[in-house]
Structure 1
Amino acid sequence: MGFARKVWRLLVGIKDGLALVFLLLFFFALFSILSARPNPGVVREGALLLDLDGTIVEEVAPIDPISALLASSLPTREYASRDLVRAIDAAAGDERIEALALDLSGFLGGGAVHMDEVASALERFKTAGKPIYTYAVAYTDDSLLLAAHASEAWVDPLGGAVVTGPGGHSLYFGGLLDRYNVTANVFRVGTYKSAVEPYTESGMSEPARENASQLVSTLWQEWRANLRRARPDANIELVTNDVEGWLAGSENDLARAALAAGLVDRIGTRIEWGEAIATVVGEDTWTKDPGTFASTDFDPWIADLDAGLDLGDGGKIGVVTIAGTISDGEAGPGSAGAERIAGLLDDALDDDLKALVVRVDSPGGTVTGSETIRRAILRHKDAGIPVVVSMGNYAASGGYWVATPAERIFAEPETLTGSIGVFGVFPSFEGLLADYGVTSDGVRATPLAGQPDLLGGLTPEVRSLLQSGVEGSYARFLSLVAESRGITVARADELGQGRVWDGGAARQLGLVDQFGDLDAAIAWAARRADLGDDFEVDYLGDDADPYGSLFARMMASDAETGAARGNDVFAAFARAQQGQLAQAVGELEGLMQVEGVQARCLECAMMPGAAVRGERPAQGSMLRWLRTLLAD
């Protein structure tokens, strides 16, 4: 019996030892994986294949693996406009790349400025003597703008093209809040500050309609002009003014109608498109799948560019990006967390920068967050560092607030800026509770004790205090604009009042100094700092997340096979509706989340590329709100 017990103990010890060894090997393997950078692939001779299955943004938001795993899906892929332009420009001068292939079937578009930046890069690629081939099942405004620069634009026989133009509808919750007796206590300054109208009205006010109509008209004119320059034979008037006649002329065949209107050059399947490219760049020797051709994907190509990046030997110009809604915390990248951005700027004070370029692509946000970023920028200016601002799609409200320290402001004709005004919203539920027999009562030492009372309503004293705070913030905003632009406060008030301006109008009014992209702003900063032609550009906080891309690739195949998603014209409209629904839910939830005084341009949400920034609809939030709305 004693012998058997000893043998048993020996076996248990061996088992425990083996378990420990395997555990150590597991952690060693895990450490090795995390210590090594994932290999995105190799660069091959042939075509540069850009399968743009997502949106173009200013700054890519990192993927949260935990959230993705819990949701069992990946967020919509985002492509930084700067990376796409860099990839295309590098391919134009690289002997390994003979052509450019863009699959736009899953393309969700981007802001007007970003679309122009990528379209200009495509034109430079074609000017270099290399062909461009695009393919899509369904083309929409943004994909058509890119396809206009193609040597051959292909559309699937079951697909087509649709031109909608900018604009759309915002949802107004005034009637809904009245139905449930919820009070939206609004505090605002500005005739055109229509950001609060969705919470109080059932439709657009006339000043808001006038402002939005002018912006839509300008953006529409710019889009048509850009398309005509690239594709002069396209019959845009027929496509937009007589849709039924246009389709009837092709017997309601959407693909043939697109061809007849000059929007595309050829009709064919994805396989036929690939075979046509293979005659130019050669067949893919790695696979015998039909329709493949020798190519390099975006990820290995951009990784190869990063590996061989020449930073230069001259002075350093810092570029900080303010993208997305401005908040007070550490949010981002992809969202403008003020503390995070201020930290990047303060760290850069020790980097011996010769100039600072602030890239703004934001509709604004909280006043306190905007001021935190402005003060951090001002610390560079106080240190004698020239500050230049480059505006992207939006630099409105708080986005303009952070631009006020600049000595030079660059924008594009399609940039939306201004919206100089502030507002605040406090919802209170005294009416809703009273409907169910719930009231609020108590004692207070002062009129402000226990205020703001979201359950019992706001007292006149607290209303006066909050309105004074909003008016004080607006006065501060006007003084910053007046000092920055060298005008009087009264003139700043005339340009303000919450009105949104397009880049052309803003330039005429003196809110921006000149047209130009980010490269133009960097070049001006280099001249201002006397750096000559040899200088280094340091994008602050622009550290790649290789593990996020690795995680995305690991989940991509499951996401693709599990998604019941189409790419035809109906699917394009459906995606737009999903974006509108998600936007509506976000606006309604924003009302319920008191975030302080806002300098934000909600009008910008109805403009191109602004629907829902690279996010899948928050399904849980939607279900909660739908249950609330439909419950009786």
Structure 2
Amino acid sequence: VYTFATFYSDSAYLLAAHASEIWIDPMGGAAFTGPGGSRLYYKDFLDRFKVTAHVYRVGTFKSAVEPYLRSDQSPEAKQALLAVYQPIWANWQANVKKARPKADLASYIADPAAAVTAANGDLVKLATDRKIIDKVGDRTAFGKRVAALAGADEDEGPGAFKHTSLGDWVAANPAKTGGDEVGVITIAGTIVDGEAGPGTAGGDRIEKLLHEGLQRDNLKALVVRVDSPGGSAFASEQIRRAIEVYRGRKIPVVISMGNVAASGGYWVATAGDTIFAEPSTITGSIGIFAVLPSFERALADYGVKADGVATTDLSGQPDVFGGFNSTVDTFIQGTIEHDYRRFLGLVGKARGMTPAQVDQIAQGRVWDGGTARQIKLVDRFGSIDDAIAEAAKRAKLKDDGYSVRYLQTEPDAFEQFVSGMFGPTEDSQQAHGLVAQLAWQQQAALGQVIGDLNVLGGTQGVQAWCLECSGALPPRTSARAELGWLAQMLSLKGT
């Protein structure tokens, strides 16, 4: 295996570390940051514009709502995140060290400023001197190296080598079909209500796909691939119930966790017979919250007040213009606490624990996959292939006697047309060099700001959501709508 890149970050280098030769462009480099970073806290901002954030939650560690209540991160949130990040980072370093024992990573990670200064700012020299990289050369030089092994492609120009494209390989090695099937359904992105398509997991859409899978007489087992920080509690329960139907028909269900399976993502996972994860999977965050804004203080500054009549204490509540009364606060908080108890009950039943035992490891706290396994939130480590093999075993299918059926929505012609016109290309997604990586991170941070504000202004219903997980962002309506909402808030003070 030979690999070439302009810039190696944490995840890219973890993959490249297993190659026989690692090449880098003369204008490239490598920098390893480890998990972590900062997020924005909006309490002072909201106070300045006199927006009241009404927060309802259960869980000491449910820090998804902290940005609306505090100006900094709570000690509990820091404790929880450090407990997640530290073992993940240690696991990354151990895996890289095992793959590249001669690479001097420890001192570079311990003091990157000193390492860069010693190399006079030359990240390529730094990487090669420390045996992080094997060879330096541009893409053409790398191609010639591969061509010496695999043969040159004379028709494609300098540096081209004989190869088989992914499309051709797939065409020549079609997936097995027919016979007994193991169904695989993917729940990726934020879990939302309705028919939301790829990028989010719409409750109605996922439920429909699961029901359609049941119509297949030869579907003997189900694997649920979860890569989600959660979202709508209603949609999470909708999906969980649809999965439970499989178990009711004695069809084995195996959960395969990806990068993150937290809050609503873990809610869904409680429907499985067994749960696979990776040591770096972020999971848990068993907690519930809701956030609603009101603008009575801001309106009062301009002489605008709300008034009217009510037949009950809940008439016209929650009143975003006149403020919330104590009855609606009690009403909403009560439903949040009820849903939390239900969450505890689902986890307890699935994991063989009492609600009290679950509560000790819940409270909205996130865990790394290794710790999650120790506290019985996860059964085994393994990939999605391992999960598929386990599902087939539970269904008593022979190793070569079944095929894999992916339960998914095929995009219609219009969606494919739009994706082709406006979807990101491979080249447009590449960030070459350290500065480009930093610029990309800034864009991602702006997206987080918009997402955070959308929680306050656009999210509906009770949420089982881990906002801390992998930079997960809230469900969005449209960029124009979100920016418009922000502009309206800023205009309250003429800013």
**Residue in 2 aligned with 1:523?**
389
Q: Which amino acid aligns with 1:582?
A: G
| 2:166 pairs with 1:298 | yes
Cα deviation, residue 312, structure 1? 5.3
* Distance (Å, rounded) in 2 between the aligned partners of 1:180 and 1:344: 45
Tell me the residue number matched to 1:324: 189
Deviations 1:343-379 (A, max 9, x none): 0111111112211111111111111001100110111
Q: Aligned equivalents of 2:424 and 2:347: distance in 1? A: 50
Contact 2:454-2:474 within 8 A present in 1 as well: no
**Inter-partner Cα distance in structure 2 for 1:410 and 1:531:** 19
Q: Kindly provide the amino acid, as one letter, of the partner of residue 405 in structure 2.
A: D
Per the alignment, residue 73 of structure 2 pairs with 204
- Determine the structure 2 residue equivalent to 1:532: 398
> C-alpha separation between the residues in 1 aligned to 2:98 and 2:430?
34
Aligned to 1:589: 454
**575 and 304 in structure 1: CA distance in 2 versus 1, 3 angstrom threshold:** farther
Q: 1:266 Cα shift?
A: 1.0
- Contact 1:423/1:599 (CA < 8 Å) preserved in 2? yes
Q: Secondary structure of the equivalent of 1:252?
A: coil
SS at 1:425's partner residue?
strand
Tell me the CA shift for residue 553 of structure 1.
6.0
Task: Find the counterpart in structure 2 of residue 257 from structure 1.
Answer: 126
Q: 1:195 is matched with which residue?
A: 64
**Contact 1:359–1:389 under 8 Å retained in 2:** yes
What is the deviation of 1:325? 0.6
Code of the aligned partner of 1:602: L
Which whole-Å CA distance do the structure 2 matches of 1:546 and 1:570 have between them?
Answer: 38
CA contact (8 A) 2:23 2:142 kept: yes
Equivalent residue for 1:70?
Answer: none
Contact persistence 1:579–1:611 (CA under 8 A): no
Deviation at 1:297, TM superposition (A): 3.5
1:344/1:541 contact within 8 Å kept: yes
User: What residue is the counterpart of 2:319 in the other structure?
Assistant: 453
Structure 2 counterpart of 1:148, from 17, 22, 40: 17
Aligned-residue offset at 1:244 = 2.9
The one-letter code matched in structure 2 to 1:489 is: P
Q: 1:577 aligns with which of 418, 430, 442?
A: 442
1:260 aligned partner, one-letter code: D
| Map of 1:420 onto structure 2 | 286
How many angstroms does 1:413 deviate by? Answer: 0.8
SS at match of 1:369: helix
Deviation at 1:167, TM superposition (A): 0.8
Deviation sequence 1:153-207 (CA, Å, 0-9, x none): 1111122111111111111111111110000000000111111001111111111
Give the deviation of 1:222 after TM superposition.
1.1
Q: Which amino acid aligns with 2:451?
A: G
What is the aligned partner in structure 2 of residue 126 from structure 1? none
**Shift in Å, 1:286:** 2.8
What is the rounded CA distance, in whole Å, between the counterparts of 1:172 and 1:458 in structure 2?
Answer: 23
Residue matched to 1:513:
379
Secondary structure of the 1:333 match is coil
Cα 1:321–1:145 change in 2 (3 A) is same
Matched residues in 1 for 2:3 and 2:288: separation?
44
Give, in angstroms, the shift of residue 144 of structure 1: 1.2
Q: Which residue of 76, 82, 88 corresponds with 1:219?
A: 88
- The Cα offsets for residues 386-417 of structure 1, whole Å up to 9 and x where unpaired, read as 22111111111111111112221111111111
Task: Measure how far apart 1:565 and its partner are.
Answer: 8.3
Q: 1:334 aligns with which of 199, 210, 215?
A: 199
Does the CA contact (< 8 Å) of 2:455 and 2:474 recur in 1? no
Question: Which residue of 1 is the match for residue 32 of structure 2?
Answer: 163
Aligned AA (1:425): V
Deviation at 1:320? 1.3
Alignment of 1:492-507 (within 5 A): 492-507=358-373
Match of 2:332 in 1: 466
Please report how far the alpha carbon of residue 418 of structure 1 lies from its aligned counterpart in structure 2 after TM superposition: 1.1
Aligned-residue offset at 1:590: 2.1
Residue aligning to 1:309: 175
Letter in 2 for 1:213: L
Does structure 2 retain, via aligned residues, the 8 Å contact 1:419–1:496? yes
Q: 1:276 aligns with which of 145, 164, 169?
A: 145
Structure 2 residue aligned with 1:237, among 106, 109, 115?
Answer: 106
Identity, in percent, stands at: 48
Partner Cα distance (1:516, 1:243) in 2: 33
| Native 8 Å contact 2:209 2:409 kept in 1 | no
CA deviation string 1:259-315 (max 9, x = no partner): 112211111112211222222222223333x3322233334444544xx222253x2
Query: Highest Rg: 1 or 2?
Result: 1
Structure 2 runs not aligned, ≥5 long: none
Partners of 1:225 and 1:545 lie apart in 2 by 45
Task: State whether residues 582 and 612 of structure 1, in contact with CA within 8 Å, keep that contact through their aligned partners in structure 2.
Answer: no
Greater shift, 237-246 or 320-329, is seen at 237-246
The superposition leaves residues 571-595 of structure 1 with CA deviations (integer Å, 9 ceiling, x where unpaired) of 1111111111111211112210131
Instruction: Tell me how far 1:559 sits from its aligned partner.
Output: 10
Distance in 2 between the 1:408 and 1:198 partners? 35
Contact 1:579/1:612 (<8 A) preserved:
no
2:355 — aligned with what? Answer: 489
Structure 1 residues 203-225: Cα deviation after superposition (integer angstroms, max 9, x where no partner): 11111110001111011011111
Tell me the distance in 1 between the aligned counterparts of 2:482 and 2:172. Answer: 41
SS in 2 for 1:602: coil
CA distance in 2, matches of 1:189, 1:411: 26
- Range with greater deviation from structure 2 (437-446 or 138-147): 138-147
Q: Is the 8 A contact 1:387 1:407 kept in 2?
A: yes
Cα pair 2:231 2:474 within 8 Å, conserved: no
Tell me: CA distance 1:300–1:198, structure 2 relative to 1, closer, same or farther (3 Å): farther
